[in-house]
A and B are shown apart, each in its own frame.
Chain A
Amino acid sequence: MFRTLVLSFGLVLGGITLAAPSVSHAEEALPTAAELLKAMDSNLQYDTRSSTSTMVVDDGRRPRTYKMVTFGRGEDEAAIEYVLPEREKGTKMLKQGDQLWLYLPRSERVQKISGHMMRQGMMGSDVSYEDLMASDSFEDQYAAEVTGSDTIEGRKCWKLEAKAKDDTVTYPKRVMWIDAETLMPLKQELFALSGMKMKTWTMGDIREVEGRQVAYKMVISDELKQGSHTTITVDEVTFGVALEDEVFSRRWLERR
């Protein structure tokens, strides 16, 4: 699911090229779930991207602000470097396929994240490392149905209920509100197998960048962290940038 989220850290919330006029202009007839999933998946496809973004983690007590530079190439490669605050400066993360690596500048150590840590919030945020790693397409992971229409932030949305096709998917069920015009998922509720709501994820400030729709603001709330939410805003995003292979290597991680 969180391929979109990965992209946001890759800091590309890729827009939809919107080659589905029959869907975007549909006022009465509901689109099919397959059409919506396919449109969302195609929105997330790109060659390379780079961006800078700001993440504010607000646990209801003292908000913390992080600045990040991110790079992405295809579905399986992403790199994040924290540039602020000073204490976290130089911390890097690298996604290589199904592996997630972390560089800790104080210790000068590269660690592979696994096990229990995958479920922890990245930098104490509402976004887990597991969320970062999800990269399979919606279409491959979920069987969905359109259950109706609704309005989110004044925009007409299709409501989609998706159930995971197998038990390896992080969130077995999700309910999505997909903008009828841009086909961006403006809101998602993510559920555990027990039916408990785990996270709520909203997207806003949708802008068109190089022919894509990009959400410049995302708010993620981990329902298990009472009163906590994380806001990610994109400061700048560029698609199709030239990126050296080194960016997605462990050598980049250790480079100071």
Chain B
Amino acid sequence: MTMLIRLALRNARRNVRRTLLTMATVLIGTSLVVLATAWLDGIFGGMMSAIAETSGHIRLVDTDYLEREELAPLYENVADADKAIAAARSVDGVVAAYPRILTGALLAKGEELGEDFGLVVGASPEWYAERLKGPDHIIAGAWLTGKKDEVVLGRKLAKQLDVQVGDEVLLLGQTQYGSMSDLAPTVVGVVSADAMIDNQAFVNLADAQWMLDMDGGALEVLVYADSTDGAHLAPIAEKLAAHPDLAGITPQPWSSREPIPTMMPMVDGMSGFIAGLVLFITSLAIFNTMTMSVMERTGEIGVMRAMGLSRPGAIALFAVESGIIGLLGGIGGAILGGAAGMYLEVYGVTLDEQLLDQMAQTFPMKQTFYADVNAGNLTTAVVLGIFIALFGALLPAWRAGRIQPVTAMKARR
């Protein structure tokens, strides 16, 4: 093996320019993979954390509500939220539980009613402060104080309605029984954090309960554990499901809620596609280099074969040479891609506000996208570099192994 490495290094040094060019190709390819995966990890990882944090690590909802959630059957609710919260908190591993109401409403500042629609969120001050972190993202006015008839509007909603702090707005929704129900709160603040929050209206839980005619109830109880890891949450969800005070209520871990199950394969697919594309293009460069090398050294290989180098030995010679190029290129790629990723992790890329406004409101997408460089994507770069090199060298090495000593030596003459 030592001899093979020595020979491979010698061969690599024979045409330094070509070797460096090949290594640079691997380096660029792997650095792009590092950057792309760090970018995707940053964007989607951040989004996942936000979803888990704002929609509860596990949420408790009426089983019938869950079955028809797209129709928002408000009457299928957690009628006694306090009882459900107490039950949830009695389960080992649960650190907090909060009631929450989400309901659609028409919003109006002036006389006209019917064009502006928004999602109204009603929750406890603790949830707003500890989980949504609404008070930290106020851009005008202040957060809810707990008094009756207050509302904090998301930035985009406030802009759409053309309202300022101090204005009165109408929220027209419906009770859980389907009757029309209105609130006329005063705007006490405007909040901006992500595409979801920017499109929502936040009211005190009591006001939302009044609006839905759901005294003491909630549409869901959001349960928090000390980790969002699926394996950690699964046994907690099982205990919640078996709790006698939670009959008719289904615990749903955050990762099983849409859009997560749909989004995760999509993200994995994107990562795979990027890696595959880079692998293919870079391996073409390696293939080219190794093919040239085999052709140039046909006679030499013939002599070595005549002197006793086995066919696997000839294959290994080229495989080791390309492996060394791949290793060095992969390390370089990890350093370069990691450095670029670190920059984006610190500074991010900020989208234009208008562009953000056009994006889906169902994702907690932030205006600034940050990358997330981690050991996983750096290791992947190095492994990928070696793999690319070996993959690209496969055919040329095979061809080298098939060289017959006599034929090669004739050709040499």
20 additional contacts (CB under 8 A) given A104-B170, A111-B108, A117-B113? A87-B179, A88-B180, A102-B113, A104-B172, A104-B180, A104-B182, A107-B182, A107-B184, A110-B111, A111-B113, A111-B170, A111-B172, A112-B111, A114-B113, A114-B115, A116-B115, A116-B117, A123-B179, A124-B174, A124-B179
| Cβ A109 vs Cβ B114 within 8 A | no
Q: Which of B85-143 contact A (CB under 8 A)?
A: 106, 108, 111-115, 117
Residue from B75, B117, B178, B184 in contact with A57 in the complex, judged by beta carbons closer than 8 Å: B178
User: If the complex has contacts A111-B170, A117-B106, are A64 and B178 also in contact, measured as CB distance less than 8 A?
Assistant: yes
Min CB gap A112→B, angstroms: 5
B357 lies within 8 A of chain A by Cβ = no
A62 lies within 8 A of chain B by Cβ = yes
Min CB gap B203→A, angstroms: 14
- A108, A116, A121, most chain B CB atoms within 10 A: A116
Q: Could you give 12 example pairs across A and B, Cβ below 8 Å?
A: A87-B175, A91-B180, A106-B182, A109-B170, A110-B111, A111-B170, A114-B112, A114-B113, A115-B115, A116-B117, A117-B114, A118-B114
Binding site for A on B (CB under 8 A): 75, 106, 108, 111-115, 117, 170, 172, 174-175, 177-180, 182-184, 213
| Cβ A107 vs Cβ B170 within 8 A | yes
A68-B306 Cα distance, complex, nearest whole Å: 107
| Among all A-B residue pairs, the 9 with the closest Cβ atoms | A124-B178, A115-B114, A107-B184, A117-B114, A111-B113, A115-B115, A114-B114, A104-B182, A107-B182
Binding site for B on A (CB under 8 A): 57, 59, 61-62, 64, 87-88, 91, 102, 104, 106-118, 121, 123-124
- With both beta carbons as reference points, the residue of chain B lying nearest to A102 in the complex is identified as B113
Min CB gap A222→B, angstroms: 12
Residue from B75, B115, B182 in contact with A62 in the complex, judged by beta carbons closer than 8 Å: B75
Contacts of A106 in B (CB 8 A): 182-184
Contacts of B178 in A (CB 8 A): 57, 59, 64, 121, 123-124
- With both beta carbons as reference points, the residue of chain B lying nearest to A61 in the complex is identified as B75
| Cβ A113 vs Cβ B75 within 8 A | no
- With both beta carbons as reference points, the residue of chain A lying nearest to B213 in the complex is identified as A87
A91-B179 Cα distance, complex, nearest whole Å: 11
Min CB gap A111→B, angstroms: 4
Contacts of B112 in A (CB 8 A): 111-112, 114-115
- With both beta carbons as reference points, the residue of chain A lying nearest to B75 in the complex is identified as A61
Min CB gap B67→A, angstroms: 14
Min CB gap A207→B, angstroms: 30
Residue from B113, B175, B179 in contact with A113 in the complex, judged by beta carbons closer than 8 Å: B113
A104-B168 Cα distance, complex, nearest whole Å: 14
| Cβ A64 vs Cβ B179 within 8 A | yes
Residue from A61, A112, A124 in contact with B180 in the complex, judged by beta carbons closer than 8 Å: A124
Contacts of A57 in B (CB 8 A): 178
| Cβ B114 vs Cβ A107 within 8 A | no
Contacts of B111 in A (CB 8 A): 110-112
Min CB gap A230→B, angstroms: 11
| Cβ B114 vs Cβ A113 within 8 A | yes
A38-B179 Cα distance, complex, nearest whole Å: 36
- With both beta carbons as reference points, the residue of chain A lying nearest to B171 in the complex is identified as A107
Min CB gap B364→A, angstroms: 25
